[in-house]
Structure 1
Amino acid sequence: MSDTEISQHQAQLNLNISKLIENKNRDSSKIYAKTTEKIALRLRDKDLLSKAFLQQGKLFYKQQKDDVALIFFNKIDSLYQIEKVITEDYIMTKIYRAEISKFRLTMPGVLKAKDYILEAINLAEETNDEKLINLTKYRLGEWHGFMSQARDTKEHLDTARIYVNKVLEYYQKEKNYKFIANVYYTLASIDASSKDYKAAEINYKKRLEVIKKSNDSVKISEAYYGLGSVFRRFNQPDKGLKYLDSAAAIFKTHGFSTDDRRKNLYKDYAYLYELKNDYKNAFVNMQKAFVFKDSIFKEENSKNAIELDAKYQAAKKEREIILLKSQKKLSEEQKTNQRNLYLGGLGLTTIAGLFFFVLFQNRQKTTKKLKELDDFKSKLFANISHEFRTPLTLISGPIDKRLNSSNLTEEDRTDFEMIQRNSDRLLNLVDQLLDLSKLEAGHLKLKVSQGDLSVLLKSMASSFQHQATQKHINYTINIDELNNVWFDKDVIEKTVINLLSNAFKYAPENSAINFNALVLDDTLQLQVENKGNLLTKKQVDNIFNRFYQADENTEGVGIGLSLVKEIVNLSYGEITVENTSNKTILFKVYLPILKSQFKPSDFADAFTNPPMIKQKEDTIKVEKAAVKEVIDENRPILLIVDDHEDIRIFVKSVFKDSYQVVEASNGEIGVEKAIALVPDIIISDVMMPKLNGFQLSEILKQDERTSHIPIILLTAKTEDTDTFKGLETGADDYITKPFKTKALEIRVKNLINSRLKLRERYSQELVLKPTEIAINSFDAQFLEKLNIVIDENITEPTFSAADFSKALGMSRMQLHRKLKALTGLSATEFVRSQRLKLAADLLKKSDANVSEIGYSVGFNDHSYFAKCFKEMYGCTPTEFISKQ
């Protein structure tokens, strides 16, 4: 035997010993594994070295020292990068990484664990090793079982059962009793999670029968432990204790599989003794469990230990009372000592109680203060945003108006476009600050819905084509088909826009930028790659920090990338950045796209509309003297309500040629002018003194005189809740500042046109149909009331427009404006048209002559009746009868 062969034999022997004692004496096991590593390094035996690294990583993992374990797993990765040979050790590092990631107990960690397992499955399938393929698929089944505790319980449990049953067939064929036992354990856990404890007991017993054939003492003890645990759930403490005793005996001889198992054994002992009302033993075992606590179970163990101690002390006290009653004589000294002891204990307990109470109160005050500060900060950012948006409107609005002009010089156009770009940039910064403040305050929530994501990505990516042309950049876009996937549109937009903006900002001219959107393992992967100065390690570590600046001579990163990282984390995703071998900078974003990957509260339909602000039944006192405004009947009236004079001047300048513009400086004056003048349309700000825009809209939409008037709300608030609130009050449109003047003009025009179409509908109807003509329920009520008044008075020749307005409780001018808006007719014209429509109906159905019908519908003059009839129908009443 050569020296090399002897050394290899020694290394393998040390490795085998390490594995043999890994559960009983981990420190010694580490020494043997380390010896294997040293020999393998001396021999330059990469296969043996990989096995030594895996054994050491596994030992630290079992001690819950994940950071040290990962160092050894990384070393195996380095060996793989050198040899590029897929080994079992390399696949196992993926499995252990998955376990470490999973037990971070965060959703991104659990989802990352699945990624590692899927990588392991792909690697195993490349090797075509059936054993590794089944092992990795078994781990995927375990992952679904674990995931069932967080969401979609039944779906994940069913998937876990499918995977586990598949691998069971393979292990039974191979007679691999160790893994058959593992499979039965997992099935039992699935049954227990499904609350099918009888099935769980059967699978635990199958596990015990199978594991006994493997002669693996630790696994046998695990099987006994599992049965003890399940009988606790059955409320059968005696049977449970029997199995736990068997498990404890073997654990004592051969060691525990993990430190966590030792703690859980004592906890289950405590629970079983508690079921037997043996609080003393329950408390003792919970104390033992407490010794082996970790950070995850610290709070739970402490709470349970305190509860058991209280029960034990209570039971003990009861027994002492019985004993005292049975003793007839007690010395006075004993009584005094007991009283003093009791008072001393009570005093100590009171002091301790006061201490903890004061501590608790201070914590509550601190928490409340921090919450108040967070709320104040969020409110401050919202108000700052509003204050910025108003001057931005006054900057971008006139600029936009000038850019639409055809008589600009090229130099002026260039200057205006530069101002517009920087105005947009400032607005974007304001929005980013607001988003970050909402994230920190916990007010930013996901609104996930199903849709075609590829269309959204293509539209956003293609919007940068112009910049690419300007900088002569080779810009490539590659987007997979992403139909019917689940995503938050706002998160996708902010992520893609920020990353592409960043890429185009730093990419030099005549370089390249690549944007890819791929689906890998039920996860969306967005990639943005660009040429540029490669990042240092320090820059990579800090690039997602707000306003990070490497030194005073370099440009900072601002807040865009920080915002992207925050919203990606909110979406259970991950973002990375790296320098590639092609000397490019590559950003990668991983986001979930399956419904099962989100919480029920994350979906858009989970958000109910916020409650509408209920305005107190304050009656707005309208001055009897009508507002002195000159009304031109030939032009529609536009009412602008805003406390900012410059905004009113700007909006007025946009509409002054087409509309008669009336202004109001606050919500209260706006309501008064709307009721007095009944304008054709209202444009109102939201944040105003006395009455805000929401209250103005609600009051006017619930008043018969003004319910038909279309209202557009302007606001600097961008939250969906504010939009919902505005629309709930009856507002017809909601526009955020700063706005494009063209967009505002189009929306005003569309709302006016929609009213004109209703007039056309009315003019074609023989009888008035309120439910088809009305815009809202208040308009419908008004038209119903109008019909009743017409039906009761139409045949009265003396029924005038003044009588009509009085019957409806309006002034003549208000009725005139309301009817003009809904029907296109004045009050007099409306009454006359209704009489003529009734006359036409009577001419068709009645045998009465023309004069009688004219008198019956309120016309005293036969020739006037004939003239009006001809104007409306194009023929005389006599000709109308002959046509019929």
Structure 2
Amino acid sequence: MKHLISILFLCLGLLVSRGQSKKEIDSLKQLLARNQSVQESVALNEQLFVSYLYASPDSANHFRKNIKAISEENDYVKGRYLYHSLSGRYHFAKSDIDSAFLHIEEASKIAEQLQNKSYLADCYKKIGVIYNIRRNDSLSTKYAYLALKNAKETDDWRTLSSIYILLGNQSFERTEYPEALSHYLKLDSIYTSQNELDKSLAAAYINVGMIYSELRDSKAVNYIEKGIEVYKNLEMEEGMYYGEVALATYYDLLQNDEKAIEHSLKAKDYYETYGDLRILSNIYRRLGGAYLQLDDLEKAEYYLLKASAIPENSQVGIHNVSNQTNLGDLYWHKKEYTKAIFHFKKAAEQIENGVENDAMPIQLPNIYRGLYDAYKDSKDYKNALAALEKQKELEASIQKSQNQLEVEELNKKYQTDKQQQEIQLLTSQSALAAQKSENQRNLFIAGISVLGLAFVTLFLLFQNKQKTNQRLRELESAKSKFFANISHEFRTPLTLISGPVAHQLSKPNLSAEDKTDLHLIRRNSDRLLNLVDQLLELSKIEVGHRKLMVSKGNMALFLKYLVEPFQYQAEQNGILLQSSIDETKEVWFDREIVEKTIGNLLSNAIKYHEGPGPIDFKAVLKNQEITISIVNGSNHITKEELPQLFDRFYQSNMLNPGVGIGLSLIKELVQLSKGKIKGFKPDPKTIGFEVTLPTSMAAFAKCDLIHGNEPIENRLLPELEHLNEDLPTDDFEDPKLPVLLIVDDNTEIRLFIKSLFLKEYQIIEAENGQQAADLAFKLIPDLIISDIMMPIMDGIEFSRVLKSDERTSHIPIILLTAKSGEENELTGLKAGADAYLVKPFKEEKLRIIIQRLMSIRETLREQLNKQVILKPQEIELTDPDNLLLDRIQRVLDRSLTDATFNASSFSEQVGLSRMQLHRKLKALTGFSTSEFLRIQRLKMATKLLKEGNANISEVGYAVGFNQPAYFSTAFKQHFGCSPSEYTKGNLVQ
């Protein structure tokens, strides 16, 4: 409940403006029509955007795009800032948090360029709100304080107050009530000094009330009523009724059922109209529970069943459990024991399946007590006995935990009493010593003098040792700093070597001897760069700058993804790489450390492998630890030399190659991750390395965990169990999502990539290029990620086939492969691929490439949509796209004005199926076939109207509309004004 409240009020941080009346909006439009100044045009469009944002999002979007067009045309930097800032609000209002975040980040960059503290404060505050919604507390707090720092340097008290409510909400969520109250009261002080009322102030009052509710303090009512009063003055119904929900919560916590019912009923009708299922489920649950306590079983059943009918994903887990328990009690009272048993069992299952609330397991004994009563009264004594035994077992477990706490408390008390007794004993001994004779006193003083001299001597020795240790630490730090600095210095000349060498290798007429020499230079410069990176990594570890970033994930899937590229490398060297990996599901590990460790060990195994045998890779999970072993053939290393392999640049003799710093770095990384690494000799002709890493959260410090930034596949584990099920090929579950085609003959790699994009795309899969091409021609996906090396048809040929066909030439293709090198990359790009990534790839890099490609497609759509008619020759498209658009243009020129010309005849004349044409037009213009035809007709109508054709009906008939009324309606929906207004020049530009 508390988290729901916090999220609701955090959202207020981005939604800060109230709309204007229709009269004010019309006035703004008239000003905009007459205005010539760039600054004033942008300001008026901003006000119109704010006015329409919630009343008519499409109209708001129109004014948002106006700001972008004006700013780009006039190179108006402040206008570009406003465009991105308002875009953040627009996407936030549409619940598109990711798009909102991208625009706000872009706005913050422009604000930094402008050095505008008020803009920076607003951007940082919004970023903090989004991180809070994403449950990343550290980043949310960081940006909130950055916003506060900038806001304090301005006179923008509204932004400052909204930052204080963000900070207050963050502290409230963490149950840090004193800090939360401090922030809310600062907000109250600001509004009091300004003599202003705002919904931020109302939200703060209600949150203060919720804090006092948690503390069972009657001050809660006063603050919640103050919040309701502010909302009432602002004429904001939602806030007023949410205040009623807050009052109901307070009285529910006090078990004042009549008052809880009274305030819940006040809010019920509004939220039933408003349609907020989360809050409705809470209201129904509270009403049902309160009526049950008052023995009004009919009303209790009515509301509890209404709460139960709300989908579980729209309810807080703890509330759903309470609702099921209440239903069990209700039906037991009504002697409907079968129903009672069903609901008690459902409540127990929800707790045992992991409801995230520490208090919930304590309710289990009560639930099993309810089951016992229901079974007993229904004369099912066997199950009644089982439920009673389970109840006793749970009570014993809880009692044991409480006893342990009591024992610890008694032990603390005993230690305190013992210390007090020791102090009293020492006091008595001191009194006796004072009564000794003068001779004994003199002897004592002499002894003290000797001890004092010894203490001073020891202190001086200790101080000298401290100074020596400090000096050694400074020398160690200087050494690490030197390595870091010298490594950075190496990178520039190495880059200047690699660049010219790559340029020379690209020349076509090089002799074989020159090519050999240049390849040798490039390999060694790459090796030096790798050594430099390893030195930098070691220096970070030694000075303590390398921190763990442990998150929960499917390690088995991750290891399979890491091993797959090395299987190709081993095959190229004539070696068999065998892998055996236990299923791990959810475990805790640092992805980067695991990737570097496995990459280094497998690379060494392939590089130094000797003999005909295979390389064995095994990963075994046991006792919350994973043990990874890699065994390869080797005759040179003896058992006695194994510990020395982890020394930097160790070399057994002049004939054997040294180990460099790779194994030393891996040892440091494994130890940093609380693990162990060792070398071993299974037999005289092989060598192996074994890495043991902890996989439980308890093995790591709290600061090592990154709950908020978990990789996407970790947050989708429930769905991963179904990832191998066949997806429908003709219809998709959510047609609003873009379609992603993943092509790879390796099932684990498809599974891994699929897990990264499961929530963002409708995903289809193929095992080879031929199968993928058939699917692509049939379904026209929005994006393709393909492997290169596949049976039947490889990725290169697959790219050529799709890019040369007008149905699929527009689709961005990203090639993934284990084949590294510029030659392979050039081959892929020449085949028409839009990007090329070498496995194993970074998830973030893949996402950036996808965002860039999709952004290019969006820019292309905007360019096409600005044209009155299609002009493909002026826009950068592939040859097949140009040919298709030329053919579409000819069809439009011939048939657009025909009223019977529709989507079916359009696809027939173009020569594509309706589905293929729909997907193609959607990709190129963003519109369906019917929308595209209607918009083309409307654009033609504007051309006729500009040429002086004032008869609206004739223009409508001329462009293919049968009904003048429908023409006027469609025209106004698209352009924001009627045809007659357009002819009079009143269209808002």
Normalising to structure 1: TM-score of the pair?
0.36
Greater RCO, 1 or 2 (C-alpha within 8 Å, sep 6+): 1
Larger radius of gyration: 1
